[in-house]
Every structure is written in structure tokens, then in C-alpha cells.
Amino acid sequence: SYELTQPPSVSVSPGQTASIPCSGDNLGDKYGNWYQQKPGQSPVLVIYEDAKRPSGIPERFSGSNSGNTATLTISGTQPMDEGDYYCQVWDSNTVVFGGGTKLTVL
């Protein structure tokens, strides 16, 4: 079965750029999607189909996908961006999630 790998944690200073990678075999051949989840809340879609932002998601969130790595980038990171981030793909009629990355803004 297909697997996605994320680092367990990423730290960033307020106002700086955070990059969260997600790796998988030939991931660039699939669409990468990203979700944000804050403690006690349901996940929220922040990027879909590699680089598209749903309505209401701030422009500081962007995505890219090439080769074996998809990346979620948060420019000008704010304290409110702290939370867990999950990458996800659709493969062989199944949804696959990465293990999640805890983003700390300090």
C-alpha cells in the first residue's frame, strides 16, 4: 500500500516561512492535499490538488508537488497557524494520509 512520510514536528518563528514536506514514491504523479487540525477541532482543508486554496484560506498558505515530495508552505507564519498538518493523496481507490506534522510557532 502507498505510504506518505512527514516529519513529526517543525518549528518556525512568527513572521517567518514554514515549510512542511511530505514524501512518497512518485508523489508528483498524484494530487497532494493538505489539512490543518487545531487541538480539539476537526480538520480543515487548506490546500487541494497540489496548490489550490479553498475559499477562506489565507493567501499565506501555498503548496507544491514534484518528484517524490509535496510541500506545504506558510509565508509570514502567525501564532494562529500552530497545529497539526496532514498531507493526503488518492491512490488505488483509497485515501492515504501522512502521519502528520506538528507545527510550533515560537
CA atoms within 13 A on the CB side of 3: 2
Number of residues that bind another protein (CB under 8 A): 25
Smallest distance, Å, CB 27 to another protein?
A: 14
Min dist CB 4 to another protein, Å, is: 10
Q: Which is nearer to another protein, 16 or 52 (CB)?
A: 52
Task: Report the C-alpha gap between 48 and 65 in whole angstroms.
Answer: 11
Question: In this structure, how many other beta carbons lie within 10 angstroms of the beta carbon of residue 91?
Answer: 17
Give the HSE-up count for residue 85: Cα atoms under 13 Å, Cβ half-sphere.
29
Q: Which of 24, 33, 81, 105 binds another protein (CB under 8 A)?
A: 33
As measured in angstroms, the least distance from the Cβ of 54 to another protein is 6
**How would you classify the pairing of strands 9-12 and 101-105?**
parallel
* Residue 5 DSSP code: B
Q: In the complex, what is the shortest distance from the CB of residue 11 to another protein, in angstroms, rounded to a whole number?
A: 19
**Does 26 interact with another protein (rule: CB under 8 A)?**
no
Positions 43 through 102 that interact with another protein (CB under 8 A)? 43-45, 48-49, 54, 84, 86, 88-90, 93-100
